[in-house]
Chain A
Amino acid sequence: MFSAPVLTQVLINGLSLSAIYVLIALGFTLLFGIMKVVNFAHGSLAMLGGYALHYYFGEFKLPYVVAILLAGLTVASASMVLEWLVFRRFYQKMFQSMIGLLGLDIAIVYTCVLVFDVYERSIPAALDSMVAIGSVSIPADKLMIIGIAVVVLLAFWGFMSLTRYGLAVRAASEDIEIAEAQGVNTRRIYQLAFFLAIFMTAIAGAIYAQTYALSPFMGERPLMVAFIVVILGGMGSIPGAALGGVLFGFGESFLSTFYGSAASTFVSFGVVIALLVVRPWGLLGKPER
């Protein structure tokens, strides 16, 4: 059971799952860390990314890399309208945001049911070929997904740690009032963080929809993933989201390969509940107060 092809498969699956999960969770944790909103509409925004990729890549036949970046940009730009209409009313109101954004989630999902339909669609794979490394062959589109996610994550990391705006975003996530007192334009930072968060979520959703299936209701699972990863790593902590995503991605890949998907779900939920009970602020978060 632990032969080289199987282990490679576990490794590659783990990497591609981790890539998706980290992207989803980073968006979620950014919104939570800076604006203190629990984004229950996260899954439906990821779903919109899936539809955008479906049109750009599946219908308009753009090159894959262009299509997926364009999908992220489109959804992120369009959701700036939602930011103005809905999200900004819930900033720094954690409790109200949960239920209000749940409403937004329902509204987006059923609008998509009206605009598209309820049936599942599939997005064609980016590449059909297999890459042979030694004795094992790996589907090339998995490598492509991993590559794209790594590039986006590196760009995000570079932006956050090397630019002035990244510094302002980090300052705002540490302490919003002090950041404001230092002359950070919080309204602008909110919009910037929101845009980045939704950009990453939409790209993750696009990859997710391509790996599994695209339907208006597909957002439930990414939302669950965002919860689990963010709780694992610590709510609001950016390195925590990365660590949690990798742990959860590899854990799921390993468990579902050897013990089935039900076992993997039970274990991951169980671990998260146990962690919430003993250490609610997660692995890398910091306790409140």
Chain B
Amino acid sequence: MSNTSLNPPVARQTAAAPRGMKVLAIGVLVTVILAVLPHVADNAFILAIGALILLNMIGALSLHLIIRTGHISFSHAGFMGVGAYACALSVLKLGVSPFVGLAIGAAASGLLALVVGPIVLRLTGKYFVLVTFLLGEIIRLVLVEWESVTGGSNGLSSIPDLHAGWNSPLAQYYIALVAAVLVAALCIRLLMSETGRAMDAVREAQRVTECAGVPVIRLKVGIFVLGCALVGLQGGLLAFFMHYIDPTTFGMTDSLNLVVMNVLGGMYNVVGPIVGAVFLVALPELLRGYVEIQRILFGVALIVVMASFSSGLVGLATMLRRKVHQ
């Protein structure tokens, strides 16, 4: 796992303040553009896809946090499912308000992460991948088998809106936008902080980082819990958007999709999962009717990316930009 660092570390330290301002400016600009978009392209189809992309960005970004500590989790959609079911059940069975439901969903997913995290995060590399692979499958099986609570394969239906009347594509787009922007801001801020540097250090050289006084396991568990809580939030939002959830939405394929978003976009840059989410959600919608060919292309793209430039689309872009500058 080699990290292609964009700036040398010294330059990063001295230019910290201006860099922060620059990132903030770009973030605000992008947010404003996205907020104005519905008034330019007022089309239910585009808005629905937009909402879906923004929702997936939450999942991809939260997984990105975990990946940055050097752990590729293959059970992320499982945690999304835990969030979605906890949220939907608390609203349907306990009758709490949907917003409280969202918080309960995120908390449930985070809590599960807090329980399993300290155990599984001691594993590294392939062992972590394999154990999360199985963990995701166990979560899915529990959702299928625990019929009295989860409704089994039939799932849960008639989940209300997040707020009465907020069911138009426009409203959903804005809800997703607010959530995605908040999550993205949190992730970017975190990655630019001391903690973010510690995460990169843990991934690159765990022993050295431990010697430098970073509480490695505590950091990893903290990030794992945060990432899983955020994807639980996505699960809750998904439940309110779709009004219906079942275990098939939270299986292996969906965990893989989140990983693929990160890998294709670029694993070691926060822009990576954002680009990846846009590609992976928008492309299938535009290529409808050619599902098989599009999956094959994804597969081939994964091979090419991993074999030739493991820093993904973002890495490719920086490489090209450097070539032009030289």
Residues of chain A whose beta carbon lies under 8 Å from any beta carbon of chain B? 38, 86, 89-90, 94-111, 113-114, 220, 224, 227-228, 231, 235, 262, 265-266, 269-270, 272-273, 276-277, 280
B137, CB-defined interface residue at 8 Å: yes
Write the nearest CB–CB distance from B77 to chain A, whole angstroms. Answer: 15
- Report which of A100, A102, A273 forms a contact with B256, defined as CB distance below 8 A: A102
Q: Is the CB of B306 within 8 A of A99?
A: yes
Which chain B residue lies CB-closest to A216? Answer: B292
Q: A99-B302, A102-B302 are in contact. Are A272 and B307 (CB under 8 A)?
A: no
- Report which of A97, A98, A110, A235 forms a contact with B296, defined as CB distance below 8 A: A110
Which chain B residue lies CB-closest to A268? Answer: B134
Q: Is the CB of B303 within 8 A of A103?
A: yes
Q: Is the CB of B298 within 8 A of A103?
A: yes
Q: Is the CB of B299 within 8 A of A98?
A: no
**What total of chain B residues lie within 8 Å of the partner, measured CB to CB?**
37
Q: Is the CB of A235 within 8 A of B301?
A: no
Residues of chain B whose beta carbon lies under 8 Å from any beta carbon of chain A? 1, 72, 119-120, 122-123, 125-127, 129-131, 133-135, 137-138, 141, 145, 252, 256, 259, 263, 292-293, 295-296, 298-303, 305-307, 310
Which chain A residue lies CB-closest to B130? Answer: A227
Q: Is the CB of B263 within 8 A of A38?
A: no
- Report which of B120, B127, B141, B303 forms a contact with A86, defined as CB distance below 8 A: B303
**In whole angstroms, what is the CA distance A280 to B303 when docked?**
28
Q: Is the CB of A95 within 8 A of B134?
A: no
Which chain A residue lies CB-closest to B145? Answer: A262
Q: A95-B1, A99-B259 are in contact. Are A266 and B141 (CB under 8 A)?
A: yes
- Report which of B120, B129, B299 forms a contact with A104, defined as CB distance below 8 A: B299
> What A residues does B127 contact at CB under 8 A?
276, 280
Q: Is the CB of A276 within 8 A of B299?
A: no
**Chain A interface secondary structure, helix, strand, loop or mixed?**
helix
> What B residues does A109 contact at CB under 8 A?
295
> What A residues does B256 contact at CB under 8 A?
102
18 extra A-B contacts, CB within 8 A, seeds A95-B1, A98-B126, A265-B141: A38-B129, A95-B125, A96-B310, A99-B302, A99-B306, A101-B303, A102-B302, A103-B300, A104-B299, A106-B299, A106-B302, A107-B303, A110-B293, A110-B295, A262-B141, A269-B134, A272-B134, A277-B119
> What A residues does B138 contact at CB under 8 A?
266, 269-270, 273
Which chain A residue lies CB-closest to B303? Answer: A103
Enumerate 7 A-B pairs (CB-CB under 8 Å) in ascending A order.
A100-B302, A107-B299, A110-B296, A110-B299, A224-B134, A227-B130, A277-B123
Q: Is the CB of B295 within 8 A of A269?
A: no
Q: Is the CB of B301 within 8 A of A110?
A: no
- Report which of A94, A100, A104 forms a contact with B125, defined as CB distance below 8 A: A94
Which chain B residue lies CB-closest to A89? Answer: B307
> What A residues does B292 contact at CB under 8 A?
110-111, 113-114
Q: Is the CB of A98 within 8 A of B129?
A: yes
> What B residues does A110 contact at CB under 8 A?
292-293, 295-296, 299
**In whole angstroms, what is the CA distance A36 to B131 when docked?**
18
> What A residues does B252 contact at CB under 8 A?
220
Write the nearest CB–CB distance from A59 to chain B, whole angstroms. Answer: 23
Pick the 4 closest A-B CB pairs, nearest first: A103-B302, A107-B299, A100-B306, A106-B299
**In whole angstroms, what is the CA distance A255 to B151 when docked?**
25
**In whole angstroms, what is the CA distance A110 to B290 when docked?**
11
Write the nearest CB–CB distance from A54 to chain B, whole angstroms. Answer: 20
Q: Is the CB of B298 within 8 A of A231?
A: no
Write the nearest CB–CB distance from A226 to chain B, whole angstroms. Answer: 10
> What A residues does B301 contact at CB under 8 A?
103
